[in-house]
Amino acid sequence: MYQKFWNQFLTEVAEPTFNLGNEPTFNLGNEQPTRPVPQTERRPLTGLALFLSEKGFYLDKLLGSGMDGKVYKATNKETGQTVAVKTIDADQGGGASAEREVKNYKFVKDNYNSLGKNKKYLPIVYQASMEDIPVRGEGLDGTKKKTGFIIMEELKELPSEVARAIFAIAGNSKRNKKARELRDKRLLKNPRLVSSLLNIAWSLMGRQGEYLSFEAQEAAEKRIMEQFFSGTLPAVLPDPYTRKMAMSEMGKKLMTLYIQITYEEMLKHPKSEELKDIIDQYKQHFTETLLISFEQAYSKPLVSGAAGKELTQKSGLRGMDQFYGQEEELEKEFPEIAGVRAAMKEFSGKEFKPFDVHAGNVMMRPGTNDIVIVDLGRFNI
């Protein structure tokens, strides 16, 4: 069932070049060359290029960089196998970040085969160690810097619509808009998930939530659900901020109902007459609070970016799956998240607790539809 829904989902969003076949088999010793190997070096090597050359690799190019390090593409001189090389400065984060990250990747390297069916959600790691690497422009006898050094398999970018629909929906690029539209076609057709979204929003009102009585919330939910699913939808709020929000048009209409009806019911069912006067006097303040709370709820990922660790109510990593017992309902509408969630739970039970998993550090194994969590730097062992 999972494979059926996953293939159907990727058919909607992915480019036609993806091969949605069986799980891959890995040959770590006799890979065939993927491109011609350079015969000579044009200039004397220094820094990381020299260090990699001594280890039997050509440095190809920088793939990307972030807060926790840089990732390069390199090629094995003998086999032609391409790999990803990650480096992390040891003095970053007081020295703890690089060492922790190396420890995490080494855990995967040493325990990969014992992780069972869920190992496919983690990268194949060939080496993870702290090394003294020459700085740029220096040779092996020159100035070196203590660096976290990781060699792992090369992976491909996960279709952005998949990654952003599952883990994050912020931003207003064309890719993000498409991801939100695809997500909301499924999310907002389910009454239980719409109800959950409304309740998440009310829970994020902060101190202003103290003015929302239980009677007002109950009455507001009933009215919003009836109007939304009967198709009686209002015009989207006309202000420039709303028009530019990272939200689908259907999401904006639900938000408009949420703001208008919640405020009306707060006036009808105040906790006291004194509080009613405050709600009436500060209408703009309360409507702005309702807008922000809905936007925060809507922007929650479907899958929490952490497992085995309690997340605060407002944490950006806390997904819809951790609110109001909606795990099964979400997996019914989005079966592609089931495997990822199960894997993260299993890892946390092995004292390898996933943390900071989001769209930016999730990729895909070539030739398969496997989601791979590639950035393990903030996992907690």
Residues 373 and 357: beta-carbon distance below 8 Å: yes
Q: Report the pLDDT value the prediction gives residue 175, as an integer from 0 to 100.
A: 75
Answering whether pTM is above 0.85, one says no
For residues 125 and 152, is the Cβ–Cβ distance under 8 A?
Answer: yes
Give just the sign of the alpha carbon dihedral 15, 18, 21, 24: negative
Q: Is the domain defined by 21-154 classed in CATH 3.30.1320.10?
A: no
Sign of CA dihedral 248, 250, 251, 255: positive
User: What values do phi and psi take at 339, rounded to 5?
Assistant: -65, -40
CB-based contacts of 258, cutoff 8 Å, min separation 6 = 198, 201, 220, 224, 290, 294
Report the pLDDT value the prediction gives residue 215, as an integer from 0 to 100: 97
Classify residue 21 by burial, with Cβ atoms within 10 Å: 0-12, 13-18, 19+. Answer: exposed
Question: What residue has token string 């530019």?
Answer: 244
- The residue with tokens 């496997």 is 370
| Cα–Cα dist 53/59, whole Å | 8
Tens-digit pLDDT profile for residues 97-137: 899 999 999 999 999 999 889 999 999 999 999 999 999 99
CB 333 within 8 A of CB 124: no
Nearby residues of 86 by Cβ (< 8 Å), 6 or more positions away: 69, 70, 71, 72, 148, 149, 150, 152
List every span in the chain annotated with CATH 3.30.200.20: 21-154
Residue whose structure tokens are 């990727």: 10
Over residues 143-165, the mean pLDDT reads 88
Q: What is the mean pLDDT of residues 89-100?
A: 75
Q: Distance (Å, rounded) from C-alpha 22 to C-alpha 29? A: 21
Q: How many CB atoms lie within 10 A of CB 93?
A: 16
Residues 27-73 pLDDT 10s: 444 444 444 445 444 678 999 999 999 999 999 999 988 777 899 99
